[in-house]
Amino acid sequence: MNLLLLDPGELDGDVAWLTGRRARHVTTVLGAGAGARLRVGVVRGPRGSGVVEAEDSGRVRLRVELEEAAEAPPAVSLVLALPRPKSLSRALETAAQLGVRRIDLVNAWRVDKSYFDSPRLAPESLRESLVLGCEQGAITWLPDVEVHRLFTPFVRGALAERVAGDRSRGLLLHPRDAAPIEEVVGDRAGEIVVAIGPDGGWIDRELETFDDIGFRRATLGERVLRTDVAVAAALAQLELLRRAAAAT
């Protein structure tokens, strides 16, 4: 944990009480006693520090000072074919850790329909994974996440509307019959929506549906990656391309 992430409602003036996992982490893992100063941030809000003032019955009292302005929302959003449950938590943590604006979990032909019955799709479980990622990455932007059981209505509806004003925003990752990501993205700035398929890849009909709403196909390289690995590789490559463009 590199950042204690607080909900706005947990602050009473400049005081916050930590309970549960975060309190245990502060006292047991960090070994922080009275007077210790910790890195603190508010969900989608400012960052600063918190001074441990007391511990009481497993709770930790922090005096919070928020000196840094809220960070801008990340430029990248993800459309992610629902991974197998064991990979889902890793993918969400990785995405939040590297910084994404929102995540849409979508059905696909090669997604096992039983995945949608997993307890890991419960709102509290999804949020826990995202919070853990934000804490690790020291980022306060907690992404929205939404689950879509029907592929075509989502892609041709809400997703198409999202990229309608700028059709170059959509980026479809596919290991075959696609140009390298650096050629497709170039020096583009601004928001990007990245679609990553299931472990078996998108089928032709799904690829064509993305083509129809203006998504551009790109590849991360010649290797075929698991979904959670593809998330890390895609976000890292996009960040590198953004920094390279800013340096020119």
Residue of 76, 113, 79, 74 lying closest to 196 (CA atoms):
79
CATH of span 76-247? 3.40.1280.10
pTM of the model: 0.92
Q: How confident is the model at residue 223 (pLDDT cuts 50, 70, 90)?
A: confident
CA distance 67 to 210: 43
DSSP secondary structure, 145-171, as one string = EEEES-HHHHIIIIIHHHHTT-GGGEE
Residue of 90, 126, 144, 133 lying closest to 2 (CA atoms):
133
pLDDT, averaged across the chain: 92
Residue range 22-35: average pLDDT?
88
Residue 248 pLDDT > 80: no
38 φ, ψ (degrees, to nearest 5): -120, 155
Residue of 162, 146, 176, 175 lying closest to 215 (CA atoms):
162
Q: How confident is the model at residue 189 (pLDDT cuts 50, 70, 90)?
A: low
CA distance 113 to 111: 6
Predicted local distance difference test score (pLDDT) of residue 98: 96
CA distance 82 to 106: 6
Residue 166 pLDDT > 80: no
pLDDT in tens, 179-188: 899 999 877 6
Residue range 91-117: average pLDDT?
96
Predicted local distance difference test score (pLDDT) of residue 175: 83
C-beta of residue 98 within 8 angstroms of C-beta of residue 136? no
84, 235, 99, 32 alpha-carbon torsion, rounded to 10°: 80
Of 169 and 208, the one with more pLDDT: 208
Residue of 186, 196, 114 lying closest to 149 (CA atoms):
114
Say which CATH superfamily domain 4-68 falls into.
Hypothetical PUA domain-like; domain 1 (2.40.240.20)
Residue 62 pLDDT > 70: yes
193, 127, 131, 51 alpha-carbon torsion, rounded to 10°: 140
CA distance 38 to 64: 9
The number of beta carbons lying within 10 Å of the beta carbon of residue 71 is 15
Predicted local distance difference test score (pLDDT) of residue 32: 81
Domains of the chain, residue spans: 4-68, 76-247
> In whole angstroms, how far apart are CA 84 and each of 36, 120, 155?
40, 10, 21
